[in-house]
Amino acid sequence: MKRDLYEQLLSWKEKPDRKPLVLKGARQVGKTWLIKEFGRNEFEQMIVLNCDKDERITDIFDHGFRTERIVKDIEIISGIKAVPEKTLIFIDEVGEVPKALAALKYFCEDAPQYPVIVAGSLFGLAIHQNVSFPVGKVDELTLHPLSFPEFLRAGYGEEIYTKLKDDPPEELHSLHTTFENALREYYFTGGMPEVVDGYWRKLDLQDLRNMQKRILADYAMDISKHADSAILGRIHQVLNSIPAQLAKRNKKFIYGDIQKGARAKDFELAIEWLLDAGIIHKIPRVRKAGIPLKFYEDFSAFKLFLLDHGLMGAMTKAPISQIMLKKNVFEEYRGTFTEQYVLEQMKCCLDRGIFFYDSDTTKLELDFLLQGEEKLVPIEVKAEENLRSKSLRQFYMDHPDSVPIRLSMSGYRKEEWLTNIPLYAVCRLKEVLSA
């Protein structure tokens, strides 16, 4: 399956000031497959080291960071001669050998002729082991589960993918039914590559649900393997509470909903662990709608989302038949799925901070608030056909320079003060933000 991040890998390869690349992302989002595909296609040869499977790799980085010696040892282990600019050195599961991450600083300074990529899902945990992250000495990319456009391309082809991404948005309505049906399929599969691939190979839907359950079980095993025993139970409590927290009308994360009387200090380390592992996303509140939004971030209030709505469906045992067949599925699952889905798409297509707005004084609530080049972009998510947007209109009246966006299952249209973008076209938000 083609991934949009491939183009960014090509850009990295050609950069005149290229640094070692750190590819982040949760386990099983496709990092290893993508880098191997990139290495096969774009380099004459590739050396692959898996820190989780080869104990010898630890020895390489335990004896200092002289890059000439490290490269020689890598050649001996792999049996491949590393040729500058022609051999990609790929170190996978680097979180298992934190010193390999630290060594990237010296590849940047002393051996930039060797293209190096490291990948892993536990970088945050690695740098907690007395190993500093090589800030300023590496390039960084993050791979997420497949976005909806990537899902479309995998099953419907390049032409419909290009139409969704590039055609004038008002022309998307000609395929509205096709997009809507595909979105219903995507609501079930989510974006984990193994599940998407299985769906397009027409595997049984229950087998796909079992794949999702197995991925969740693998995450649970990772937690048990790597987390400190003092917070192990709390990590599971936080993770298991997220669907119920998102099902509330106000989706703000409440510690007391996990355990009566719970406070921030009881669970903040558990939340940080899940963030470091890439299993959840944290969206902070802003207490004031002003530019830059980061100035007004409220660190005490936030929402938590899972990395993938398909996994959420498996976690909540959402009936497969209702997701795949029910006409009003987008309304039926609005609390748990729609905002979760939108957040995932924004994470894939936007390179800026994502916030939500909840005013203590006016009681005005907005699902998301973004900052464009010069203007605020308030966003309201609507799963049902009721498109009244009282909060969005009030925000616009208070901030007439803002660019309000409603995401719904209605077609694209630009009104006097509001633009409605279909849920299947969240990827087009990037144009709004750059305008």
Nearest to 288 by CA among 401, 389, 391, 369: 369
Ordered mean pLDDT values, 10 residues apiece, the chain (435 residues): 96 96 95 98 97 90 93 96 97 90 94 96 62 86 97 97 95 94 95 98 97 97 90 95 87 89 90 94 94 92 96 92 69 71 96 89 87 92 74 92 93 92 95 82
Listed by start position, the domains of the chain span: 5-142, 148-434
- Tell whether the torsion through CA atoms of 388, 393, 394 and 395 is positive or negative: positive
Structure-token pair, residue 216: 């969740």
Is 50:163 a contact under the CB 8 Å cutoff? no
DSSP letter for 428, please. Answer: G
**Beta strands at 297-306 and 405-408: parallel, antiparallel or unpaired:** unpaired
DSSP string covering 314-353: HHHT--HHHHHH-TTHHHHTIIIIIHHHHHHHHHHH--S-
Q: Which CATH architecture has domain 5-142?
A: 3-Layer(aba) Sandwich (3.40)
Contacts of 230 (CB under 8 A, 6+ apart): none
The whole-number pLDDT of residue 259 equals: 86
According to DSSP, the residues that pair with 92 across neighbouring strands are: 50
Adjacency order of strands within the sheet including 87-92? 45-50, 87-92, 116-119, 21-24, 139-142
Angle at 352 between CA 175 and CA 123, to 5 degrees: 110
Per DSSP bridges, beta strands 376-381 and 405-408 are parallel
The two structure tokens encoding residue 432:
């709004």
Q: Two tokens at 210?
A: 């079992």
Give the closest residue to 104 by CA, choosing from 113, 93, 95, 117: 117
Q: CA 9, 13, 19, 21: dihedral to nearest 10 degrees? A: 30
Amino acid at position 316, single letter: T
Residue-level pLDDT at 126: 54
The torsion angles phi and psi of 145, rounded to 5 degrees, stand at -55, 160
Positive or negative torsion for Cα 195, 199, 201, 206 = positive
With tokens 């680097």, the residue in question is 94
- Contact yes or no for 141/21 (Cβ under 8 A): yes
